[in-house]
Amino acid sequence: MKQTLFSATLDNGITLLGEELPGVESVAIAFHAPAGAVHDGQGRSGLATLSGEMCLRGAGGRTGRQIVEALEAAGVQWSQAVSSSHASFSGAMVARQLPEALPVYADIVRRPRLPEDQLEAARQMVLQNLAGIEDDPGHRVMTALREMHFPAPWGTPSEGLTADVERLDGAAVRDFIAAHVRPAGTIIAVAGRIDWDDFVHRIEALFGDWRAGDAEAVTTGPRGPRLRHVPHDSQQTHVALAWSAPPYRSDESYEATAALAILGGGSSSRLFTEVRERRGLCYSVSSGYQTHRDFAMALGYAGTTAARAQETLDVMLAEIDRLPGTITADEVERVKARAKSGLVMQQESSAARAGAIARQWYHLGHVRTLAEELARYDRLTVDSIEAWLAAGPPRDLTVVSLGREPLEVPRALSA
């Protein structure tokens, strides 16, 4: 399949990435500034999230309301999100609207007004979101797992803690944006029906004269506890567990994600078969993979009625334990087929491709072609996956449960 990828770097360090997708009318764009929650600082959790929200509340010559009206009148499906690593401003639209949308995004990224009279509303919005999360057991258990497994600040929830958010002020937001929304480390990715030369020209005009000082390094702290129970008034107990896995930029991440897909990635996976199909223990059970640039985790999750939660955890642990030495050729073929068809089908979505090329650049410093990725999946074998499992079998697990009663975790796995 023919693939048309572009990249360019501006003098100030902004990376521009593009992919032309044949046969689509749409274009998706994403601005990723290196202003993620890892820069929040002690006692200031939620600062990146509050700052990202404040960027939308007035920028350049527009009020917050005018920003939204300008984007939506151009039919832009916009979104804003803050992760550990980035503050992201994205949009998908019919391609002819891109020239109208770009100056609005340039204002948001470069010229936020940060009006004091909007700070309280923005804070309340962040607090409302936190209250909503408190009522969502699945969200809470995964937040707790990341917090325990990854070293601070990489596991700290980007949405913040209520007590911290209540104390943040306008000066903290202004300082945060001045320090972290900066050209070096910013990625602008575009995919769909694009005219690359025209795009680069427009971005240069809007961002070429942007300058900023040096970036602050992030100090990585200690990890959280290995075992935890979060009391929650629910009929179901949710259990999530994690162990360390190679980050995405490591070549072995393909073996790791393949092993995890065999464990719990599809309806023919081991966890789905043993926990749900054979025993009917739960509705949701899966395994997955989450990565930062320097470390990643393999994870498992299930939610089930309190009385059957212990058995669910026991079966999950037994399946994880059984994984090394038992991978079959048929399982590897299924994983490869799913990964490859997923990659090909991603080419139908402008937003998915804009996200994928930006993610690859952040993790790898380059974009992998589809052909490279397909070839890498072709090199997956039973032996290569087994070799990875033998070198780093699942051990030293982080386990969190959420519900009315705590669960027993066997010593051998948690020690």
Partner 1 sequence: MPFLHERLDNGLDVVAETSPAALSTSVGFFVKTGSRDETDALWGTSHFLEHMVFKGTPDLPGDEINRRLDRMGASANAFTSEEDTVYYAIVLPEQQPEAVELLARMMRPALRDEDFATEKLVILEEIRMYDDQPPFGADERCRAAFFGGHPLARSVLGTVESIQALPVEAMRDYHRRRYAPGNMVLAATGAVDFPALVAAARRLCGDWEPQPAAERLEPVPAAAASRDLVVRPTAALEYAVRMSAGPDERSADRFAAKLLATVLGDSSGSRLYWAFVDSGVAEQASLHHHEFLDAGLFVTQLSCDADDTDSLLDRILEIYGDAAAGGITAAEFAQARNKVASRVVLSGERPRRRLFEVGGEWAHAQVYRSVADALRIVESLTRDDLHRVAATWPLTGPAATVLAGPRPA
Residues 25-44 that bind partner 1 (CB under 8 A): 25-26
Tell me whether residue 38 or residue 47 sits nearer to partner 1 (CB atom): 47
Stretch that binds partner 1, among 145-153, 175-183, 204-212, 346-354 (CB under 8 A): 346-354
Question: From CA 264, how far away is CA 319, in angstroms rounded?
Answer: 10
Work out which of 178, 205, 344, 391 binds partner 1, going by CB under 8 A: 344
Question: From CA 175, how far away is CA 332, in angstroms rounded?
Answer: 50
For 234-356, where are the E strands, in sequence order? 236-245, 284-291, 296-305
Tell me whether residue 79 or residue 294 sits nearer to partner 1 (CB atom): 79
Work out which of 348, 372, 383, 396 binds partner 1, going by CB under 8 A: 348
Read off φ and ψ for residue 245, nearest 5 degrees: -140, 160
* Distances in whole angstroms, Cα of residue 84 to Cα of each of 21, 35, 151, 295, 301: 29, 8, 12, 13, 21
Q: How many residues bind partner 1 (CB under 8 A)?
A: 76
Q: Is 234 one of the binding residues for partner 1 (CB under 8 A)?
A: yes
Contact 298, 320 (CB under 8 A): no
Q: Is 374 one of the binding residues for partner 1 (CB under 8 A)?
A: no
Tell me whether residue 217 or residue 329 sits nearer to partner 1 (CB atom): 329
Q: Is 77 one of the binding residues for partner 1 (CB under 8 A)?
A: yes
Stretch that binds partner 1, among 101-109, 150-158, 242-250, 336-344 (CB under 8 A): 336-344
Tell me whether residue 31 or residue 272 sits nearer to partner 1 (CB atom): 272
Q: Is 84 one of the binding residues for partner 1 (CB under 8 A)?
A: no
Report which DSSP code applies to 218.
Answer: P
Tell me whether residue 71 or residue 106 sits nearer to partner 1 (CB atom): 71
Binding mask 288-307 for partner 1 (x = CB under 8 A): ---------------xxx--
Read off φ and ψ for residue 248, nearest 5 degrees: -55, -35
Question: From CA 222, how far away is CA 153, in angstroms rounded?
Answer: 9
Write down how long the chain is.
Answer: 415
Question: From CA 269, how far away is CA 277, in angstroms rounded?
Answer: 10
Stretch that binds partner 1, among 32-40, 170-178, 327-335, 388-396 (CB under 8 A): 327-335
Helix (H, G, I), strand (E, B) or coil at 56: coil
Q: Is 174 one of the binding residues for partner 1 (CB under 8 A)?
A: no
Tell me whether residue 43 or residue 342 sits nearer to partner 1 (CB atom): 342
Work out which of 4, 11, 61, 69 binds partner 1, going by CB under 8 A: 69
Q: Shortest distance, CB of residue 76 to partner 1, whole angstroms?
A: 7
Tell me whether residue 241 or residue 335 sits nearer to partner 1 (CB atom): 335
Question: From CA 315, how far away is CA 330, in angstroms rounded?
Answer: 22
Distance of CA 168 to the CA centre of its chain: 25
Q: Shortest distance, CB of residue 340 to partner 1, whole angstroms?
A: 6
Q: Is 65 one of the binding residues for partner 1 (CB under 8 A)?
A: yes
Provide the 10 A C-beta neighbour count for residue 78.
21
DSSP output for 66-103:
HHHHHHHHTT-EEEEEE-SS-EEEEEEEEGGGHHHHHH
Q: Is 99 one of the binding residues for partner 1 (CB under 8 A)?
A: no
Q: Return the residues of window 123-142 that contact partner 1 according to CB under 8 A.
A: 123-129, 131-132, 134-138
Distance of CA 254 to the CA centre of its chain: 18
Q: Is 277 one of the binding residues for partner 1 (CB under 8 A)?
A: yes
Question: From CA 343, how far away is CA 254, in angstroms rounded?
Answer: 14
Q: Is 96 one of the binding residues for partner 1 (CB under 8 A)?
A: no
What is the CA angle 22-89-58, rounded to 5?
135
Work out which of 120, 209, 216, 383 binds partner 1, going by CB under 8 A: 120
Question: From CA 385, how far away is CA 376, in angstroms rounded?
Answer: 13
Stretch that binds partner 1, among 42-50, 98-106, 182-190, 231-239 (CB under 8 A): 231-239
Q: Shortest distance, CB of residue 126 to partner 1, whole angstroms?
A: 8
Q: Is 23 one of the binding residues for partner 1 (CB under 8 A)?
A: yes
Work out which of 59, 76, 190, 239 binds partner 1, going by CB under 8 A: 76
List CB contacts of 21: < 8 A, sequence separation 6 or more.
Answer: 191, 192, 193, 347, 348, 350, 353
Contact 104, 70 (CB under 8 A): yes
Q: Is 405 one of the binding residues for partner 1 (CB under 8 A)?
A: no
